[in-house]
C-alpha cells in the first residue's frame, strides 16, 4: 500500500509537537495539516533546502521561504485562523526538523532520494496543497518540483517558426472575422431583457469539496490525564455526546477543541464504541489516539502498554482499522525535544523574560547523558547558552536543577550520579555568566520516576534533568 506522506507527517509529527504546547491546539493542528503539503512542495522544487534545513540546529520558516518575509507572513495569515501568527510560526518552526526526520525514514537520508520520493508522490501532495498557496508561492518555484512530465504535440521550434511564417498572411483576415463575431455577440447580448444567473462558483478542481471523515485526536500527559483533545464532527448531537464522554471518562473539565475550518462527516465508523475506546485509553501515560473515519491510530511511550491498548481497542471496533504506531526511538525523541526547546526559547521576549516560560522551555529538552557520565552533550550546550542569556536578564529568582535516574543499579550510586549531572548543568550555566546564587543542584536518584522502570522506554524517560522555580 502506497504511503500517504501528509498522513504520515500528521501521525509522526503533529501529535509530538502538540504534546509540548498549550493553547490554540485546534488552530495549530489545522495549520500543521495545511503546512505539510507546502513544505513537501518546496522541498521538491528546491532540493538544496533539504540539506540546509537538516544541517540547521533550529530551522525556521524564514529559511524555508528563502527569507522572503512578505511571503512568510502571508502564509502565516492564511494558516493561523484565530490564533496569533507568532503562535503558529513557533509551532511550524518546531515541526520542521521532525518532519525532515520522518521523510528521511521512508525516503532515505540523501538529498536525491528524498527529491525522487517526493516526485513519485507528486499527485498526492498536489491534492492536499491549498489553492491559495499555488499562486502565493509561485515566485519560490513551488510548482516546479512536482510538475508532471507531459507529452507535447507541438512541433519543434524551428518547424513552428516556419509554419507561423507561412500562415502570417492570413492573420489580418482571421482578426477581422473574430472582431465581427465579437461585435455581433455583444449586440445580441444587449438585447436580452433578463439577466442570466451567474453559475455557482466551484472549487479550482471543478468539483465540490466532499466532507472530510469525522476525527478525534486525543493525547495524555505523563500522569495519564488528557493533555490535548480536538474533534472534527459534522453531527452536533454526536459532538455533544463526545464532549460529555471525554469529560466523564477522564474527569476532565475542559471541552475538546472543535475544528470548524472545514466540513466533516457526521460520525466515525463504530461510533457506539466511543465510551469503551476512551475507557481503554484512560490512565495510559504519554499516549495518543487519532480516530479518523474508519481508522484508529494509537501511540504510547511504552511498547507493552501500546500492545495491550491495541488489543483492547480492536475488540471494541470490529469495523474500524486499528494501527499501533511504533514508539519513537531515543534518537528521535532527543532530536524532537531539542527542536521544541529551541523554538520555545526563541519565543521568549528577551526584554521581558517570563521565568515560568523559561523553565518550561528548558524542560522540553532531553539531556541524553551517556551511561555513567555527567558530560553534557554539545546540542544541549547550545540550548543552555541561549537559556543563560535569558536568565541573566531576570533578578530575584532561584531555580532548582533536579537530576533523576532510572532504578537500575545501586540506589546510593544513582543518587550520587544524579547529583553530579545536576551540578554539571549548574556549573555550565555559571560558566556562561549566570549568577551561581540563582541555581541549586539537587540529585534525586530514582526516587521520582515519571514512567515505568520495567521498560526501556520508561527508564529512558526517567533519566532526566528537570528545572523548577525554587519555593
Q: Which residue has the higher pLDDT, 301 or 305?
A: 305
Question: For residue 317, is it within any domain?
Answer: yes
Give the three-state DSSP class for 41: helix
Quick one: what percent of the chain has pLDDT higher than 90? 31
CATH no. for residue 306?
Answer: 3.40.1520.20
Q: What pLDDT score was predicted for residue 257?
A: 85
- Say if residue 27 is in the same domain as residue 120: yes
Q: What pLDDT score was predicted for residue 402?
A: 96
- Say if residue 378 is in the same domain as residue 424: yes
d(CA 72, CA 67): 8
- The answer to whether residue 145 scores a pLDDT higher than 70 is no
d(CA 363, CA 404): 13
- Say if residue 336 is in the same domain as residue 405: yes
The boundaries of the domain holding residue 259 are 215-324
Q: Which three cell numbers stand for residue 43?
A: 522541498
- Say if residue 334 is in the same domain as residue 274: no
Give the three-state DSSP class for 192: coil
- Say if residue 12 is in the same domain as residue 105: yes
Number of independent structural domains in the chain: 3
Arithmetic mean of pLDDT, 181-208: 46
Question: For residue 135, is it within any domain?
Answer: yes
- Say if residue 403 is in the same domain as residue 272: no
- For the chain, the farthest-separated pair of C-alpha atoms sits apart, in whole angstroms, at 100
Q: Of 140, 162, 197, which residue constitutes the final position of a domain?
A: 140
- Mean pLDDT (the chain, rounded): 81
Q: What is the pTM of this model?
A: 0.42
User: Given its phi and psi angles, is residue 99 left (phi above 0), alpha (psi -120 to 50 degrees) or beta?
Assistant: alpha
Confidence tier at 173 by pLDDT (50, 70, 90): low
User: Given its phi and psi angles, is residue 251 left (phi above 0), alpha (psi -120 to 50 degrees) or beta?
Assistant: left
Strand pairing of 295-300 and 321-324?
parallel
Q: Which three cell numbers stand for residue 391?
A: 536568565
- Say if residue 455 is in the same domain as residue 336: yes
- Say if residue 262 is in the same domain as residue 227: yes
Question: For residue 37, is it within any domain?
Answer: yes
Question: For residue 181, is it within any domain?
Answer: no
d(CA 262, CA 124): 19
- Pick the closest to residue 328 from 356, 362, 301 (CA basis): 301
- Say if residue 124 is in the same domain as residue 246: no
- The answer to whether residue 176 scores a pLDDT higher than 70 is no
- 237-252 pLDDT, tens digit per residue, is 899 999 999 999 998 8
- Say if residue 15 is in the same domain as residue 96: yes
Q: Which three cell numbers stand for residue 353?
A: 523574560
Residue 415 per-residue DSSP state? H
Q: Of 118, 140, 162, which residue constitutes the final position of a domain?
A: 140
Q: Which residue has the higher pLDDT, 106 or 81?
A: 106
Arithmetic mean of pLDDT, 327-348: 82
Question: For residue 195, is it within any domain?
Answer: no
Question: For residue 210, is it within any domain?
Answer: no
CATH no. for residue 373?
Answer: 3.30.1330.60
- Pick the closest to residue 304 from 284, 276, 333 (CA basis): 284
Per-residue burial over 129-143, b = 16 or more CB atoms within 10 Å of its CB, e = otherwise: beeebeebbeebebb
Q: What pLDDT score was predicted for residue 142?
A: 67
- Say if residue 463 is in the same domain as residue 399: yes
- The answer to whether residue 154 scores a pLDDT higher than 80 is no
- Say if residue 253 is in the same domain as residue 315: yes
What angle (nearest 5°) sits at the alpha carbon of residue 323, between those of residues 113 and 18? 75
- 383-415 pLDDT, tens digit per residue, is 999 999 999 999 889 999 999 998 888 999 999
Question: For residue 188, is it within any domain?
Answer: no
Find out whether 471 and 318 touch, Cβ atoms under 8 Å. no
- 57-76 pLDDT, tens digit per residue, is 888 998 898 888 878 888 88
Arithmetic mean of pLDDT, 299-319: 89
Question: For residue 158, is it within any domain?
Answer: no
Q: Of 324, 349, 384, which residue constitutes the final position of a domain?
A: 324
Amino acid at each position: 500500500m502506497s504511503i500517504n506522506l501528509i498522513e504520515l507527517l500528521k501521525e509522526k509529527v503533529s501529535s509530538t509537537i502538540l504534546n509540548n504546547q498549550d493553547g490554540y491546539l485546534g488552530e495549530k493542528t489545522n495549520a500543521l495539516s495545511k503546512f505539510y503539503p507546502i513544505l513537501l512542495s518546496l522541498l521538491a522544487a528546491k532540493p538544496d533546502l533539504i540539506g540546509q534545513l537538516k544541517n540547521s540546529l533550529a530551522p525556521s520558516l524564514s529559511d524555508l521561504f528563502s527569507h522572503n518575509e512578505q511571503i512568510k507572513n502571508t502564509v502565516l495569515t492564511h494558516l493561523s485562523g484565530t490564533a496569533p501568527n507568532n503562535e503558529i510560526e513557533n509551532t511550524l518552526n518546531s515541526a520542521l526538523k521532525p518532519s525532515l526526520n520522518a521523510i528521511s525514514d521512508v525516503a532515505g537520508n540523501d538529498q536525491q532520494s528524498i527529491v525522487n520520493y517526493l516526485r513519485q508522490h507528486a499527485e498526492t501532495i498536489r491534492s492536499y496543497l491549498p489553492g491559495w498557496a499555488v499562486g502565493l508561492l509561485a515566485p519560490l518555484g513551488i510548482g516546479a518540483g512536482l510538475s508532471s512530465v507531459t507529452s507535447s504535440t507541438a512541433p519543434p521550434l524551428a518547424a513552428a517558426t516556419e509554419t507561423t511564417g507561412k500562415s502570417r498572411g492570413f492573420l489580418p483576415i482571421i482578426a477581422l472575422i473574430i472582431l465581427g463575431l465579437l461585435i455581433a455577440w455583444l449586440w445580441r447580448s444587449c438585447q436580452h431583457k433578463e439577466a442570466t444567473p451567474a453559475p455557482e462558483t466551484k472549487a479550482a478542481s471543478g468539483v465540490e469539496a466532499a466532507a472530510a471523515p469525522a476525527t478525534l485526536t486525543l493525547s495524555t500527559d505523563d500522569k495519564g490525564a488528557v493533555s490535548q483533545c480536538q474533534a472534527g464532527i459534522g453531527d452536533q448531537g454526536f459532538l455533544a455526546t463526545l464532549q460529555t464522554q471525554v469529560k466523564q471518562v477522564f474527569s476532565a473539565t475542559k471541552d475538546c477543541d472543535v475544528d470548524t475550518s472545514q466540513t466533516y462527516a457526521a460520525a466515525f465508523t463504530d461510533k457506539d464504541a466511543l465510551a469503551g475506546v476512551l475507557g481503554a485509553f484512560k490512565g495510559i501515560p504519554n499516549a495518543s489516539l487519532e480516530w479518523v473515519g474508519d481508522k484508529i491510530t494509537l501511540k504510547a511511550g511504552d511498547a507493552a502498554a501500546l500492545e495491550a491498548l491495541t488489543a483492547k481497542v480492536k475488540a471494541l471496533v470490529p469495523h474500524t482499522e486499528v494501527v499501533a504506531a511504533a514508539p519513537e526511538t531515543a534518537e528521535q525523541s532527543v532530536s524532537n525535544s531539542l527542536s521544541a526547546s529551541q523554538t520555545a526559547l526563541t519565543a521568549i521576549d528577551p526584554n521581558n523574560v517570563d521565568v515560568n516560560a523559561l523553565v518550561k522551555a528548558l524542560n522540553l529538552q532531553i539531556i541524553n547523558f551517556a551511561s555513567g557520565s555527567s558530560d553534557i552533550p554539545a546540542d544541549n550546550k547550545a540550548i543552555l547558552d541561549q537559556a543563560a542569556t535569558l536568565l541573566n536578564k531576570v533578578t530575584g529568582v532561584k531555580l532548582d536543577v533536579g537530576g533523576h535516574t532510572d532504578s537500575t543499579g545501586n540506589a546510593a550510586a544513582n543518587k550520587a550520579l544524579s547529583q553530579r549531572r545536576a551540578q554539571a548543568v549548574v556549573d555550565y550555566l555559571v560558566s556562561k555568566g549566570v549568577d551561581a546564587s540563582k541555581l541549586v543542584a539537587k540529585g534525586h536518584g530514582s526516587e521520582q520516576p515519571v514512567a515505568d522502570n520495567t521498560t526501556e522506554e520508561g527508564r529512558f524517560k526517567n533519566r532526566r534533568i528537570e528545572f523548577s522555580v525554587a519555593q
